[in-house]
A = this chain, B = another copy of it.
Amino acid sequence: MLTDKKVSNFLGELASNSPTPGGGSVAALAGALGAALISMVGNLTAGKKKYKNIEEDIKKIVSSSEKLRYELSQLIEEDVKAFNNFMATYKMPKETEDEKRMRTEKIQEALIEAAKVPLKTAYKCLDIMILSREVAEKGNVNLISDVGVAVLMAEAALESAVLNVKINLRMIKDEKVRTELSSSIEEILLKEKGQKEKVLEIVEEKIR
């Protein structure tokens, strides 16, 4: 498991001449960092007298952000698995016509899976961005810069994940799947639009 490695080793393996882990795992990790920061701000808001009236809201937020942190941690691994699976299909035999057909089919299946993993990451990062806004409005004002970092991480992670969907998408031949993936990307980017700016506006105002 990649998340069982030391941070320094993860960085070292990322930098190495092995294609995994790569950008897809980094997207999921950056999303998990954003989710963890939301949890931290929530955990340092809950139980404080000043924020007693929003205690229940904060508990719900932390429950959501912890779920997202867990899911995004899983996606760090899933991305590597999907890529390795894709690479393995290339090594399938291609002597006979049957083998060739089977190989092409498996490559296409693996590509679709490799596109779906970062798509999941992108949806989860969108959820973090929406949570960030609520925390920016309600959470412990002393940690407002951490909320800003959370939304910045979530946005960069979302856009990184979208790039990873796109790079697989270009090799997918099934028109129906292509359309579905493209619509999902469009939906995500539309919903993302302005989220970061709104959160950072609140953050900058509270920092002053």
Q: Quick check: which of A95-103, A161-169, A185-193 contacts chain B, the rest being far away? A: A161-169
B148/A23 in contact, CB under 8 A: yes
Question: Chain B contacts of A73 at CB under 8 A?
Answer: 7-8, 11
- The reply to whether B33 and A29 form a contact with Cβ atoms under 8 Å apart is yes
CA distance A16 to B207 in the complex (A): 23
* A residues contacting the other copy or chain, number (CB 8 A): 58
Binds B, one of A38-46, A104-112, A127-135, A173-181: A38-46
Does residue A152 face the partner (Cβ distance < 8 Å to B)? yes
User: Quick check: is A116 within 8 A (CB to CB) of the other chain?
Assistant: no
A64 within 8 A of B: no
State the CA gap A44–B152 with chains docked (Å). 28
A149 interface residue (CB < 8 Å to B):
yes
| Central interface residue in A4, A7, A164, by most chain B CB within 10 Å | A7
Measured CB to CB, the nearest residue on chain B to A76 is B7
Contact B145 A164 (CB under 8 A): yes
Contact indicator B29/A16 (Cβ below 8 Å) = no
Contact B149 A27 (CB under 8 A): yes
Once bound together, how far apart are the Cα atoms of A166 and B23, in whole Å? 30
A170 in contact (CB, < 8 A): yes
Q: Given the complex of chains A and B, what is the CA–CA distance between A160 and B167 in angstroms?
A: 27
A62 CB to nearest B CB, Å = 8
Q: Is the CB of B16 within 8 A of A43?
A: yes
A1-51 residues with Cβ-Cβ distance < 8 A to B are: 1-8, 10-12, 14-19, 22-23, 26-27, 29-30, 32-33, 35-37, 39-40, 43-44
7 additional contacts (CB under 8 A) given A15-B69, A23-B150? A3-B8, A11-B33, A17-B43, A145-B166, A145-B167, A152-B163, A156-B156
Binding site for B on A (CB under 8 A): 1-8, 10-12, 14-19, 22-23, 26-27, 29-30, 32-33, 35-37, 39-40, 43-44, 65-66, 69, 73, 76, 143-146, 148-150, 152-153, 155-156, 159-160, 163-164, 166-167, 170, 203, 207-208
